[in-house]
């Protein structure tokens, strides 16, 4: 965890009040979200009082994650309102609040030099980054998230997502976090996610978050358990959501069905698992222990000899299951299930 950082500014502190520049209100405030506004205003307050803070302090104070705080700081850094210092271990050690009365920000906005016009983002695939300094910051953040240096292929993929697909740095930042949190550090996977987000029209992290988290995280777990590496489609997610929401099956029961599915078939695994879980649901399975009792009852029914027609012998007593509401189902047979799935 990063330590405390100092907040600095050229002007002298005034602990009794915190003033906000009209330039900030007129030109910067409208494009910032709530978290970004809170972080910047609190940095002003901290600087005026001559205090120090840390990422963990900021995260706890505003009920954010440290990643949210880092994104907010990078948002203001890219807009020239703050600059950050790092120690030799690349840990954040200082934050400088820039004076908004300085002409640097207005000049950048009013510049009519032709440099920006000569390199449109859509000119080439894996094109030159819009701004080399911004690209360096993005690559640095990516390496911090991944805990390793980026390869040339990794770098090209990031720049393709940023410049050709037109992702903002904030959206690329969120894309990295989204994939890494799911254990996906392959940049080919990240590119597939980015293309899907582009097709869906996501332009901000908020839009991507609303679209990407519409499924329960257990949907992604089930996809992994079944050996399905693609992002879940709406149809695929509907299977898992039915098992969870309609059947009210525990995740342990679903894991068991997935394990049996993987051993039994390579084809149409979601449909195969659905046949198993639907059978269990109709048989009254609630928890994983119920499966064992159902298996035992099923084996007992297979071992019980059929009564002879016309005979007078007393039939052997049926072995009862501890779960008495479980019917003896012939369609529970795995071979029959696989045949049914293949036919469909």
Q: What is the pLDDT of residues 103-159, one digit of tens each?
A: 343 333 333 433 333 333 333 333 334 444 457 888 888 888 888 888 888 888 999
If one counts the domains in the chain, the total is 3
Q: What is the pLDDT of residues 209-262, one digit of tens each?
A: 777 655 667 888 898 899 887 777 778 888 888 898 888 888 999 999 999 999
* CA–CA gap between residue 9 and residue 116 (Å, rounded): 31
Note whether 172 and 282 are same-domain residues: no
Task: Name the domain boundary from 154, 189, 214.
Answer: 214
Indicate whether 313 belongs to any domain. Answer: no
DSSP 165: S
Candidates 158, 167, 77, 154; CA nearest to 121 is: 167
Q: Is the dihedral of CA 333, 334, 335, 337 positive or negative?
A: positive
Q: What is the pLDDT of residues 61-88, one digit of tens each?
A: 888 888 888 888 888 888 888 888 877 7
Indicate whether 312 belongs to any domain. Answer: no
Note whether 89 and 126 are same-domain residues: no
* CA–CA gap between residue 82 and residue 132 (Å, rounded): 18
Length of the chain: 344
Indicate whether 270 belongs to any domain. Answer: yes
With a CB cutoff of 8 Å and minimum separation 6, the contacts of 112 are: none
Give me the CATH number covering residue 84.
Answer: 1.10.10.10
Note whether 10 and 87 are same-domain residues: yes
Q: What is the pLDDT of residue 335?
A: 56
* CA–CA gap between residue 286 and residue 303 (Å, rounded): 26
Pairing, β 92-97 against β 5-8: parallel
Indicate whether 63 belongs to any domain. Answer: yes
Note whether 339 and 225 are same-domain residues: yes
- Tokens encoding 278: 């639907």
Task: Name the domain boundary from 44, 68, 103.
Answer: 103
Q: What is the pLDDT of residue 161?
A: 93
Note whether 95 and 195 are same-domain residues: no
- Tokens encoding 196: 């899907």
How distant, in Å, are the alpha carbons of 7, 55, 174, 177, 241 from that of 44? Answer: 9, 15, 26, 28, 46
Note whether 185 and 297 are same-domain residues: no
* CA–CA gap between residue 323 and residue 53 (Å, rounded): 60
| Helix H or strand E encompassing 300 | helix 288-303
Q: Which domain holds residue 99?
A: 1-103
């Amino acid at each position: 965890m990063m330590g405390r950082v100092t907040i600095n500014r050229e002007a002298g502190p005034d602990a009794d009040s915190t003033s906000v520049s009209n330039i900030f209100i007129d030109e910067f405030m409208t494009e910032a979200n709530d978290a970004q506004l809170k972080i910047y205003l609190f940095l002003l307050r901290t600087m005026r009082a001559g205090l120090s803070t840390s990422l963990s302090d900021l995260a706890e104070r505003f009920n954010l994650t440290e990643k949210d705080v880092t994104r907010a700081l990078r948002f203001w850094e890219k807009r020239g309102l703050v600059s950050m210092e790092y120690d030799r271990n690349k840990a954040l050690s200082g934050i400088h609040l820039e004076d908004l009365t300085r002409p640097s920000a207005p000049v950048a906005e009013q510049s009519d030099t032709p440099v920006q016009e000569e390199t449109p983002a859509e000119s080439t695939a894996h094109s030159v980054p819009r701004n080399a300094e911004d690209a360096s910051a993005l690559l640095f953040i990516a390496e911090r998230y991944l805990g390793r240096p980026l390869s040339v292929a990794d770098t090209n993929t990031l720049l393709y997502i940023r410049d050709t697909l037109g992702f903002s740095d904030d959206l690329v930042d969120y894309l990295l976090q989204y994939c890494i949190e799911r254990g996906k550090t392959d940049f080919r996977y990240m590119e597939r996610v980015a293309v899907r987000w582009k097709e869906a029209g996501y332009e901000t992290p908020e839009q991507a978050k609303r679209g990407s988290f519409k499924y329960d995280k257990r949907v992604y777990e089930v996809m992994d358990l079944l050996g399905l590496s693609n992002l879940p489609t709406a149809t695929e997610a509907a299977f898992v959501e039915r098992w969870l929401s309609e059947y009210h099956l525990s995740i342990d029961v679903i894991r068991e069905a997935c394990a049996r599915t993987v051993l039994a078939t390579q084809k149409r695994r979601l449909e195969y698992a659905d046949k198993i879980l639907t059978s269990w649901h109709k048989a009254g399975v609630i928890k994983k222990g119920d499966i064992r009792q159902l298996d035992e009852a099923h084996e007992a029914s297979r071992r019980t000899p059929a009564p002879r027609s016309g005979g007078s012998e007393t039939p052997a007593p049926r072995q009862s299951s501890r779960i008495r509401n479980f019917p003896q189902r012939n369609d529970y047979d795995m071979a029959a299930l696989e045949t049914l799935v293949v036919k469909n």
